[in-house]
């Protein structure tokens, strides 16, 4: 028997335990309708009792060329028809089974994401998705099962994208993301033909997540498997390879678990060496994460500490018109900051060195509106600290930037971070004239342009790395901040446009992964929640509720050391893409050689 986990030609089994053919690129040729059936040569039977070379002269007029009587031929046709029906029923049953497994895998993957603390479901989800696509006889089937699993994951994960704009954006985005699950299904089917295939499938998972994070329109990394692991054993791996390493580790666990299931179904004994190796592959990644947890920075380790306040002022109303009432959002944040100043004066709170307001906390441009500038200055002077103010700034050409400005009391605005990774179909609309044909929302999308900076601002002599809202999902955002010397990280965000949905919890989990990835304390300031204080080991030490005013104050350490993940940057993703391409190349080479061998054998037989 070929080894199902490490052999060159992996096997899968039917429920009866019988071994089916390998999952490799030439399955389509073997399963082609024009291919001879088993037990035939050029379509002629080679079963005992049926000669393939009986002379036609030896048969009577009532017998066919193969010597069978009319009654025998009739019975044979009926038997063939019955056999075809049985095969068709079995094939349909197998397809339904794979569809059900794919859907269950997608649902479990969704269930592993916040706000549910069910991170441990993710490896089982990958295992089910692997079983759904492994050994399929058609490329399109592998793509279909993978995409079906992707839809079962993204549809419940992303409904917040359509809360205020209707279901079309939600359905379109979910479908586009699911395509990459289909691509993984195709790669999994092919790479399943390599020795040690669970590793190759995990590499393919990481590679397809990289692709989804970059294309189209700059990519959409939401839903990367790492972002569901903030409460789990795998989280410490972020310090050594970032989100890509976590994704690889979870996928490896799941693929190895699927290989273990296939071995058991194939009838291998638990004492077999292959079973032991596959079982080891199942547990090595989560145990590695546990073993590395003590290597993460202690929450109070650093060069020195600063006191930081995150202000959550809330908004008059949720939705796209959260800022319809002029200056209401700004006044809310000024009011909550002045309340904090009163608490400091009474000795009830520690005086902050830095105050962080959320994205869009000033709902009017303070550089163009004197009244807005005046109240921000007043708030900064009352609290006695610089404020990072989120505001939409209008440029001379009427385009806008989503900016975070350092406001230093009477000195006014200082350095700012203009959001560099802007959200397609929200902050700007690609191909606006085309999409206007399908939705009136096209005219409501923004005209934002990306900024050009190093991803940092300086306040109170502290270099702060800023990833505004959507930017936190992208690996490169904080990498640039760390390269510029960031000692502390912050994620100002405005989640009012997504209601009281799970979006804010999903984003908060991303921030926890980023804190571990770069070994920095991180402050999340949200207009409506959830705001949070996160230490460098990913612990959420403080958090606010949703849609209520809040102020979180914490003493946080500043660091200037770099984690391995920070130093190696994009190397894990690049390696996964290159190795996946190498794996596909090995299979193509094998297929080419097999075809050449078959041609040579056919030539020899004809001679």
CA 88 – CA 82 distance, rounded (Å): 10
Instruction: For helices 370-383 and 328-345, give the axis angle rounded to 10 degrees.
Output: 20
Residues 6+ apart with CB under 8 A from 585: none
CA 169 – CA 145 distance, rounded (Å): 23
Residue whose pair of structure tokens reads 């994620």 in the numeric block: 491
Residue 216: asked if its preceding bond is cis (omega within 30°), the reply is yes
Q: What is the CA radius of gyration of the chain?
A: 30
Element (H, E) at 507: helix 503-518
Strand partners, 274: none
Active-site residues: which are they? 359, 419, 469
> 3-state DSSP call for residue 580?
helix
What does 373-419 look like in DSSP terms, one character per residue?
Answer: HHHHHHHHHHHTS-EEEEEEEE-TTS-EEEEEEEE-GGG-EEEEEE-
Burial of 55: CB neighbours in 10 Å, binned 0-12, 13-18, 19+ = exposed
Looking at the chain, how many residues does it have? Answer: 607
Instruction: For helices 121-133 and 139-157, give the axis angle rounded to 10 degrees.
Output: 150
Burial of 394: CB neighbours in 10 Å, binned 0-12, 13-18, 19+ = middle
Token digits for 598?
A: 């078959």
Residue 443: asked if its preceding bond is cis (omega within 30°), the reply is no
Q: How many helices (H) and strands (E) does the chain have?
A: 15, 14
Burial of 327: CB neighbours in 10 Å, binned 0-12, 13-18, 19+ = middle
CA 184 – CA 441 distance, rounded (Å): 32
Phi-psi region of 485 (alpha: psi -120 to 50; beta: other; left: phi over 0): left
CA 151 – CA 179 distance, rounded (Å): 9
Query: Cβ(389)–Cβ(376) under 8 Å?
Result: yes
The angle at the Cα of 204, spanning 202 to 205, to the nearest 5 degrees, equals 65
CA 455 – CA 403 distance, rounded (Å): 11
Residue 134 Cα to chain centre, angstroms:
21
Burial of 15: CB neighbours in 10 Å, binned 0-12, 13-18, 19+ = exposed
> In degrees to the nearest 10, what's the CA dihedral of 113, 117, 123, 126?
-20
Token digits for 391?
A: 């505001």
């Amino acid at each position: 028997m070929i080894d199902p986990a490490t052999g060159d030609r992996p096997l899968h089994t039917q429920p009866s335990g019988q071994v089916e053919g390998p999952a490799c690129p030439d399955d389509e040729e073997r399963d082609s309708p024009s291919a001879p059936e088993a037990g035939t040569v050029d379509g002629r039977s080679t079963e005992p009792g049926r000669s393939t070379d009986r002379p036609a002269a030896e048969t009577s007029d009532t017998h066919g060329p193969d010597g069978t009587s009319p009654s025998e031929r009739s019975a044979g046709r009926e038997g063939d028809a019955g056999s075809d029906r049985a095969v068709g029923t079995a094939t349909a049953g197998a397809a339904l089974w794979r569809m059900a497994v794919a859907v269950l895998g997608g649902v479990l993957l969704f269930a592993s994401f916040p706000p549910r603390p069910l991170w441990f479901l993710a490896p089982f989800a990958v295992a089910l998705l692997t079983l759904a696509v492994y050994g399929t006889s058609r490329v399109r089937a592998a793509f279909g099962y993978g995409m079906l699993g992707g839809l079962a994951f993204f549809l419940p994960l992303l409904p917040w994208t359509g809360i205020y704009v209707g279901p079309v954006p939600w359905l379109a985005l979910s479908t586009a993301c699911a395509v990459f699950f289909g691509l993984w299904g195709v790669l999994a089917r092919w790479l399943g033909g390599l020795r040690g295939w669970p590793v190759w499938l995990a590499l393919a998972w990481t590679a397809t997540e990289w692709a989804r994070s970059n294309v189209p329109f700059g990519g959409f990394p939401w839903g990367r498997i790492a972002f569901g692991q903030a409460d789990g054993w795998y989280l410490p791996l972020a310090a050594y390879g970032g989100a890509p390493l976590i994704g690889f580790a979870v996928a490896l666990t799941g693929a190895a678990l699927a290989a273990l299931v296939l071995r058991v179904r194939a009838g291998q004994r638990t004492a077999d060496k292959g079973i032991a190796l596959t079982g080891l592959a199942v547990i090595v990644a989560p145990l590695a994460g546990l073993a590395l947890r003590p290597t993460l920075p202690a929450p109070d380790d650093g060069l020195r500490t600063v006191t930081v306040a995150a202000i959550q002022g809330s908004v008059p109303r949720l939705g796209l018109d959260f800022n319809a009432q002029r200056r209401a959002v700004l006044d809310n944040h000024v009011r909550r900051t002045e309340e904090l100043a009163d608490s400091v004066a009474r000795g009830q709170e520690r005086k902050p060195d830095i105050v962080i307001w959320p994205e869009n906390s000033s709902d009017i441009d303070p550089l163009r509106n004197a009244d807005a500038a005046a109240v921000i200055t007043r708030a900064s002077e009352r609290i006695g600290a610089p404020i990072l103010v989120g505001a939409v700034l209008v440029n001379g050409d009427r385009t806008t930037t989503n900016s975070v400005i350092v406001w230093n009391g009477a000195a006014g605005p200082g350095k700012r971070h203009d959001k560099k990774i802007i959200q397609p179909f929200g902050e700007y609309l690609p191909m606006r004239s085309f999409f206007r044909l399908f939705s009136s929302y096209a005219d409501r999308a923004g005209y934002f342009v990306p900024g050009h900076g190093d991803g940092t601002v300086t306040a109170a002599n502290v270099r702060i790395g800023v990833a505004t809202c959507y930017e936190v999902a992208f690996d490169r955002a904080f990498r640039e901040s760390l390269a510029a010397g960031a000692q502390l990280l912050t994620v100002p965000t405005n989640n009012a446009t997504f209601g009281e949905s799970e979006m804010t919890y999903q984003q908060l989990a991303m921030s926890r992964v980023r804190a571990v990835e770069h070994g920095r304390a991180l402050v999340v300031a949200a207009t409506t929640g959830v705001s949070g204080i996160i230490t460098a080991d990913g612990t959420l030490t403080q958090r606010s509720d949703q849609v209520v005013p809040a102020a979180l104050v914490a003493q946080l350490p500043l660091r200037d050391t770099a984690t391995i993940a920070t130093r190696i940057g994009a190397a894990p993703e690049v390696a996964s893409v290159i190795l996946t391409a190498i794996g596909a190349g090995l299979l193509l080479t094998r297929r080419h050689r097999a075809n050449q061998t078959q041609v040579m054998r056919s030539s020899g037989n004809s001679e």
